[in-house]
Chains A and B, each alone.
Chain A
């Protein structure tokens, strides 16, 4: 009874704290400008199923893809078991679905156990890739400090979680064989859990009856506490991709990657020169900033991108400018955007719901000019991202701000602009000479 009350309180507390923080993230994302991404529902659903659910883009790199698949499937399938744990926790029952589900129950839990072992192997491999093999994209300077700690913390948490699962199931197997488990006795000598029926006796066979009950409870409570902890750690971690990966792929850019957005506010200025009957698309009484200076100028999709990033660095490892030693790293663009957005969010919390200018901005205080001007706009980063994040969109918007609001660009680019403006070509050639090549030898 007491344990049921404690469990219920923990469940309510964990859910409440989680929803408070999810609401904050939602609010932060909605600080972005609105863009309509509700067209083409079928295509969007298909993209989400393939890219998020089906992990399609992960398989461009098979080894991490398979290791990740172990963790991913284990995580998804474990949610089934979690339902039972919650029901057991509240009602004080033990393995409540076992009797009614019968063989299906044994199969499901056994399957979870096998996936848990694979996830354990995957997690060890991931820790090794980060800390021993030092895979280049996972040890870059931009990850120093919290990002590296965050990644290792999650991985160690997963290892502990899996250990608790096997304490819980292994000890219960031994208890069951001694006729002492609280699970309904179906006169079959074993719970039949694929891994635990072998590992349980091996690890816990020598422990006393009372000791086993303690081990089983430590496993059970340890498991659920880590689940609650993990849930509430998510909003503060790069690991949020496990949730946001789905909406983020649903709201993917479905247009050709080469197509950049058209700024209606610019069209409203330019078009009347060509068409006197042109009707403005934007409100002239509500002038907008051209491009992006700070996170509030971005769209909500750009901001969702930032929260969806799990800092895997595939984008950066494919970036031609990063490969050749330039400061640009698409991953850092996303991390900077998220960190600045978090800062803006805290500012709003502190100032009773309104943002008070702190004299900072995304460009300058977080992202440096040399990063922005290095980009080849080649779309390699966009192509690489396993959850369809678009760092290029942010880079181009910042360029627009620097060029059109501040005239703060590289001098050679200003030359190129004036050439186009005066001669209709990026070089100093006369437009009248455009067809001279025909008669040249």
Chain B
């Protein structure tokens, strides 16, 4: 594996450079051990195609998404305005996020507070790179494998992005399987709405177990996701059924980076 190059905005500016795109890493991508691997996979893709990008590093703070979904509009706006102040200070134009929640919040909810940027989710960027011929992908270790894609709510229903992740998966020469509840009818992994940060309310089953059960019924080699929180939930769900040896839970970025030894 190549050594990754990850400049921060502060470093770029000190060198008098301007990045093409800001990579918004997100809290999960920065601190969660599993999600850090997804972050690195995204970086490997960006390095491979030689995109000039930067991260905010310690100048990045939570977008405020979980606060907003949980009803704390004050905290959300505090976070949003801090981030907007930083990004506007750097004259950021385009952002790629590794998380659909960051994607949705910055894209849809920052403009009303003075933050106007072109925002794409990493699957959209990868799709664009493939379509432009800048990124050539092969199936590699996934060739012929059965992959089922779980739609993140804030990418799918939240923003109507259903095809970019599927397009990429199909480029890997694999069998793309669909759950009955997919695309607009996709079932949440159970993490959204700040549920990630609390115990479930009283019920009969965990949502992630329900969703993993549906995915595992297709007997896939890989459950592909596009969100670090879905990743956690689906991984736990697969473990609940002791299927972690047979079925891997991987982000689309990891599929691309691993299949092509980036």
Contact = CB atoms under 8 A, between A and B. Distances in A.
Contact of B79 (A323, A413, A416, A420): A420
A262 B57 CA distance: 27
22 contacts: A256-B158, A257-B159, A258-B153, A259-B104, A260-B68, A266-B74, A267-B113, A321-B201, A324-B209, A377-B69, A377-B192, A379-B157, A379-B158, A383-B157, A400-B73, A402-B71, A403-B72, A404-B71, A404-B74, A417-B70, A421-B75, A424-B61
A270 interface: yes
Contacts of A434: 25, 30-31, 57-58, 60
A375 interface: yes
A140 interface: no
B73 A376 contact: no
B239 interface: no
Contacts of A259: 104, 108-109, 158
A235 to B, nearest CB: 33
Contact of A320 (B6, B66, B188): B188
A412 B81 CA distance: 25
Contact of B203 (A267, A271, A326, A425): A326
Which of A324, A373, A382 has the most C-beta atoms of chain B within 10 angstroms of its own C-beta? A324
Contacts of A377: 69, 153, 192-194
Interface string A389-415: 000000010111111100001101101
Contacts of A400: 71-73
A386 B61 CA distance: 39
Given A324-B205, A435-B57, 11 more contacts: A256-B158, A258-B159, A267-B113, A271-B113, A324-B200, A324-B209, A327-B203, A376-B153, A400-B73, A403-B71, A437-B31
Contact of A325 (B29, B62, B195, B204): B204
B36 interface: yes
Contacts of B200: 324, 326, 374
B228 interface: no
B203 to A, nearest CB: 4
Interface of B: 4, 6, 8, 25, 27, 29-31, 36, 39-40, 55, 57-58, 60-62, 64, 66-75, 77-79, 81-82, 85, 104, 108-109, 112-113, 153-154, 157-160, 184-188, 190-207, 209-211
A97 to B, nearest CB: 45
A373 B4 CA distance: 41
A273 B79 CA distance: 12
A290 interface: yes
A431 interface: yes
Interface string A299-327: 00000000000000000001011011111
Contacts of B30: 425, 429, 434-437
Chain A interface extent, by class = 35 or more
Interface string A250-273: 000001111110110011011101
A397 to B, nearest CB: 8
B70 A324 contact: no
B9 to A, nearest CB: 11
B157 A416 contact: no
A399 to B, nearest CB: 3
A318 B211 CA distance: 12
A170 B91 CA distance: 78
A291 interface: yes
Contacts of A2: none
B202 A429 contact: no
A66 to B, nearest CB: 19
Interface string A347-387: 00000000000000000000000100111111110110000
Contacts of A412: 197-199
Given A409-B71, A417-B67, A262 B109 contact: yes
Contacts of B66: 416, 420, 426
Nearest to A262: B112
A260 B203 contact: no
Contacts of A256: 104, 108, 158-160
A328 interface: yes
B201 A328 contact: yes
Interface string A60-99: 1000000000000000000000000000000000000000
A260 B200 CA distance: 23
Contacts of A432: 58
A139 to B, nearest CB: 18
Nearest to B100: A258
Contacts of A285: none
Contact of A374 (B112, B157, B191, B201): B201
Given A321-B207, A412-B197, A440-B36, A260 B71 contact: no
Contacts of B70: 399, 403, 409, 413, 416-417
B171 to A, nearest CB: 26
B38 to A, nearest CB: 10
Contact of A413 (B77, B81, B198): B198
B58 A435 contact: yes
Contacts of B58: 431-435
Contacts of A415: 197
Interface in A320-352: 320-321, 323-328
Contact of A425 (B4, B8, B31): B31
Contacts of B85: 274
B106 to A, nearest CB: 11
A25 to B, nearest CB: 29
A130 to B, nearest CB: 24
Contacts of B113: 262, 267, 271
B210 A320 contact: yes
